[in-house]
Structure 1
């Protein structure tokens, strides 16, 4: 099954792992854009990475992975909810090169991970410089700097498949835990190829890599494309821009049209809609609240 995240645990070691594969979600998101193959691969890697990160959360939240740079790729933003919804967008200044790694694609870049609890709680953000020449290496750097948890990450994307794997050493829970397990797990996991990550079933990947280990598998978590945009959210944004700007746009274009940066869904507002946005509710006639 595609678009699933599989968690696993080393029974006699303080190590957890995850494997994620995204086919429908990756295809749906890049199919709404005209990005080059190089940018599509970065989007796919970002989707896999964000799904892996969200699965490590212990409470319901929204998690954002944001890469910004002064290079050809100016922005990569991927968002996930712990319920399994994913969306992504990218912006470029110029053609993003196929080779050269992140040093060429996202020069002088930073990686920010933002966690926003769904209920009461503080928003958290960790920011690190891009390091290691790949998004996977940058994530390992983030965990080392911000979380102090030894973590290894593998990512691969090639239309129509995006995939990733994470293993993480947890704080020691027992003195009886295998002291050599983390080093051994890292060596075994490092033998996986990008093609295997994308094309083999997650259970087969885990068995091939760790067949001599005592592994506990958990039920897979379904993932899907989900954009949180809505007409109401766009209307609120237009109100924030101000009545004068909206009326100028109406005069120039005959309507106000906004496309969601994530899903490219169009939202159109005509003169009646704009009038309603800037008319106090108590002053509206019943007809002004009808949908257009």
Structure 2
């Protein structure tokens, strides 16, 4: 199954673009949890958007997209890397019944924010935060790009249970483009419906849209799923929680079990593991705390 990101340029206009189609990668991610349909759709669209934007990273590192809400949907998060990998997950109130036709705006509630983070392997992290503007992932991200970037950019996104797909066009850096010409490119992009975007391969779709502008399509890159969780990272998280809290869990349950929210990998720490981690027997410390 195809997991490809395809670059293209228009020879008749100073415009570049990217198309991404994720199949087995997306099916693996959406299969990790029992996602309600509208939440799965939003997560898939965010995953496609993250893969598109990460293709323009000029450093080795990670591009992180987060949509945070106060309604039934609490969080959508996607991480895409310069190594052409991605992962994603969502958190929501599982006690609430979510209708299949629930809108993203209703799911997120009245307050929320869109957070974009650039995390280089070396150097300082950069983060941008804006309010939620728009009724879809594409609209929210488009509003953010319009505010934060000097380049004209436009994208469309779609996702179902099988595929997450995105298509983005941008004015080339340093090039001038007449406003009417850019509006025409945008109008072509928005002639594509969800079904066409989800079921048409990159070469066919790009030729169908941009043949008059002499579209030039480059060799596709393969995109893979990869999770960065590890025993060491979970151990560091336990250290942050503190010996008293972890010791209490061990005293009550005999072990601490943590499941990665992205890949569901389980990490189990018993009393010996935690003693090695903290350098002290936190269970004994908690057990004797009332006497002290």
TM-score under structure 2 length normalisation: 0.89
State the match for 2:117 in structure 1. Answer: 114
Say what the alpha-carbon RMSD is for the aligned residues.
1.8
Shift of 1:8: 0.7
State the match for 2:168 in structure 1. Answer: 166
Runs (5+) with no aligned partner, structure 2: 281-292
CA deviation profile, 1:229-253 (whole Å, cap 9, x unmatched): 0011111111222222222111101
State the match for 2:211 in structure 1. Answer: 211
Aligned mates of 2:17, 2:99 — CA distance in 1: 32
Aligned mates of 1:251, 1:67 — CA distance in 2: 37
Residue 101 of structure 1 pairs with residue 107 of structure 2: no
Contact kept in structure 2, 1:14 and 1:172, CA below 8 Å = no
CA deviation profile, 1:156-184 (whole Å, cap 9, x unmatched): 1111111011111234436xx67753222
How many residues align? The count is 277
Aligned mates of 2:16, 2:139 — CA distance in 1: 19
Shift of 1:216: 2.1
Residue 232 of structure 1 pairs with residue 232 of structure 2: yes
Residue 133 of structure 1 pairs with residue 142 of structure 2: no
State the match for 2:71 in structure 1. Answer: 71
Structure 2 counterpart SS, 1:212? helix
Aligned mates of 1:32, 1:118 — CA distance in 2: 27
Aligned mates of 1:195, 1:136 — CA distance in 2: 16
Alpha carbons of 1:145 and 1:97: their partners in 2 closer, same or farther (altered >3 Å)? farther
Aligned mates of 2:35, 2:72 — CA distance in 1: 13
Q: Which runs of 4+ in 1 moved over 6 A?
A: none
State the match for 1:7 in structure 2. Answer: 7
Contact kept in structure 2, 1:2 and 1:21, CA below 8 Å = yes
CA deviation profile, 1:54-75 (whole Å, cap 9, x unmatched): 1122222201100011111111
Q: Relative to structure 2, which stretch is displaced further, 139-148 or 97-106? A: 97-106
Contact kept in structure 1, 2:10 and 2:210, CA below 8 Å = no
- Taking the TM superposition and a 5 Å limit, the aligned residue runs for 1:118-197 are 118-120=121-123, 122-173=124-175, 180-197=180-197
Aligned mates of 2:220, 2:178 — CA distance in 1: 26
Contact kept in structure 2, 1:259 and 1:266, CA below 8 Å = yes
State the match for 2:259 in structure 1. Answer: 259
Shift of 1:114: 0.7
Contact kept in structure 1, 2:30 and 2:161, CA below 8 Å = no
State the match for 1:242 in structure 2. Answer: 242
Alpha carbons of 1:105 and 1:262: their partners in 2 closer, same or farther (altered >3 Å)? same
State the match for 2:37 in structure 1. Answer: 37
Aligned mates of 1:267, 1:47 — CA distance in 2: 26
Aligned mates of 2:24, 2:209 — CA distance in 1: 26
Contact kept in structure 2, 1:43 and 1:76, CA below 8 Å = yes
Structure 2 counterpart SS, 1:211? helix
Runs (5+) with no aligned partner, structure 1: 281-292
Structure 2 counterpart SS, 1:273? helix
